[in-house]
Amino acid sequence: MRLLLRQLRALEERLVQGGGQAKADRQHRDGKLTARERVARLADPSSPLLEIGLLVAWDRYEGQAPAAGVVTLLARVEGHPVVIVANDATVKAGAWWPETITKILRVQEIAMRNRLPIVYLVDSAGVNLPLQDGIFPGQYGAARIFYYNSLMRRVLKIPQIAAVMGPCIAGGAYLPALSDFIYMVERTSFMGLGGPNLVKGATGQKTDSETLGGARMHTSLSGVAHFTATDDPDCIRQIRERIAGLPAPPARPAGANTAQPAEDLYDILPPDHRQAYDIREILDRLLDAGAQTEFQADFAPEMYCLEARLHGRAIGVIGNRRGFLKSNAGPRIGGIVYTETARKVSYFVEYAERRNLPLLYLQDVSGFMVGPDAEAAGIIRAGAEMVESMACATVPKIILTLNHASGAGYYAMAAQGFDPNFTFAWPTARIGVMEGDSAVQAVHGVELDKLKAEGRPVPPELQQRIDKTRADYDRWLDARYAAARGHVDALVDPLETRLLLAFAFECACASGHRAHTALEVLGS
């Protein structure tokens, strides 16, 4: 754990530098703050900063797209949980990469699902033209950002505030135009469907940026923008005042201490991810000490279902136990979902839905039980019940992947595809259809069995293919690989997990609204 955290911190420290100090200095010379400086001023001083997708695209484009050129996070602003999108102009002038679209869409979905205000701090040169084929077209191309803008404005009534704090060009101008309020900064803002050079080429007219699309023009002549700020700090001050005027959020519940110190979390997971540990040791360091009620403690003990509190908030917890366990039905293997496991979890989820208990899933699952006995016991039907109850539950669901998240067990434990409110992982997380050794057996097992039966050694060519399969799975199962592709919202330091989960539940529960956003938007 400590080794993985050192590697993760080194990577994150590099990514938060964006395009580097020279580019940041240029921002300052132009009279502008950097994206992260703007975010720091916008957020309350004591607020957690829950960054979404920091590692997205870190291993692509030869490292030239740190954080995909956009800072996306959640923070408190004047006490309100708020989603923030800030273009990082130190990274290729804030141009949009394909993954920039992915990140913006993800936090827009968070805003819609949780009914949170969203603030756009725009400072972007537009589409990264050499990569336009991954940005412009498609169902989940840039147009979907504006689709979500429109739905939030007209259907879901979610406050959207846009501040044009640099260039805002071409189709990107529709993002602020589809917001409720638009702020522009004197001398540094530009908003237009085309810049001066494009206008000259298209129409032959000569003009300058300020005349064509500056703050004064748009607030006094076109009427496109609503408010003018003298500089970035003044703009951020005005946005904070706007958010302060929103209806007050619900009071946060009072927290309590944990039963055990959080510092020990580094030492609970064993160095070998296949070895057992006691999940209660983790729960004692994440949840409030005091009254906790385990559901069906003596039935299907490989799954832990618990009513508890996290920073004073009542929640339901579903977590996989690991190791070999005893039960009245015989020995069980922790991390495996049996027929009884699935039915127990399904009932608990339905209970949480009736009680309005938000759910925390702690994933360390290797998959569903297989074999003649499992099939005869109806594992497919029971697994379907577990999936269906989870998928249809409208209470907030937050996922924390501790270790394994494999096969259909990953799906049943509220995988990302089922639209949980947030998905987090420890650096030890391993998300994939199976482990490398299992993949080797699945792909090459017939050949290996034949060679063994004939008493022949493994030929070099086959060994190379086996080594490649195992190496591919090791790379795919790395938590940083999952984070780079947006399969988790954030990788989390165990010591910071409790605070982050508490804030995530605060965001998920702030509006009190319960619905499946996809169904609601479609009018079902």
Residue 128: per-residue pLDDT: 86
Residue 524: per-residue pLDDT: 47
Query: Could you tell me which of 46, 58, 45, 48 has the C-alpha nearest to residue 16?
Result: 58
| Nearest 10 degrees: Cα torsion 316, 491, 320, 414 | 60
Two tokens, residue 311: 């920073």
* Beta-bridge mates of residue 307: 293, 316
Residue 521: per-residue pLDDT: 60
How far are the Cα atoms of 124, 315, 327, 439, 505 from residue 310, in angstroms, in the given order?
A: 39, 7, 29, 38, 9
Cα–Cα dist 355/346, whole Å:
14
End-to-end CA distance of the chain: 45
Query: Could you tell me which of 270, 268, 248 has the C-alpha nearest to residue 260?
Result: 268
Residue 37: per-residue pLDDT: 98
Tell me the DSSP string of 392-434: H--S-EEEEEEEEEEHHHHHHTT-GGG--SEEEE-TT-EEESS
Q: Strands 332-333 and 336-337: what pairing?
A: unpaired
Residue 352: per-residue pLDDT: 98
Give 10-residue mean pLDDT values along the chain (524 residues): 96 97 96 98 97 97 96 98 98 94 96 96 89 87 94 94 93 90 96 83 85 92 96 98 95 88 93 92 95 93 96 97 88 93 98 97 95 94 97 97 93 95 97 85 90 91 91 90 96 97 97 75 55
